[in-house]
A = this chain, B = another copy of it.
Amino acid sequence: MPRSQRRPALIHPEPDEFDLLDVLHALSDPTRMTIVQTLRAAPERACGTFPVEVAPSTLTHHFRVLREAGVIRQREDGNRRWTALRGEDLETRFPGVLDAIVTAYESELTRP
């Protein structure tokens, strides 16, 4: 029996339920912003393949914050959990927000 039927399904709020302040809070952490930035280049990634240096359990925590804010979507696939950006949903609910933020973050990284 697959994991998806033995464990509670992952919580993914609908765009109508997104809270902008939750999204901003989710993006105000360097580890989480690195995750989001990485996902803009790769459409879908496994959990362990992000260029961050934190413990696995810490990464799980950050994924939950992003997921419950509506920033990412995760799906089960055997032993892996694939993560993708909910770019379209965010664009529908908060037009221009994610794009402006990630663009600004990348320009900040290449500047100082």
Interface size on A, residues (CB 8 A): 23
Determine if A42 is an interface residue (Cβ-Cβ < 8 Å).
no
Q: Is the interface of A mostly helix, strand, loop or mixed?
A: helix
**Residues of the B chain whose Cβ atoms lie less than 8 Å from the Cβ of A100:** 94-97, 99-101
With CB as the reference atom, state the residue of chain B lying closest to A25.
B28
Convert A93-112 into 0s and 1s, putting 1 for each residue whose CB lies closer than 8 angstroms to a CB of B.
11111011101110010000
Q: In the complex, A30 Cα to B100 Cα: how many Å?
A: 21
Convert A73-109 into 0s and 1s, putting 1 for each residue whose CB lies closer than 8 angstroms to a CB of B.
0000000000000000000011111011101110010
Residues of A within 8 A of B (CB): 19-22, 24-25, 27-30, 33, 93-97, 99-101, 103-105, 108
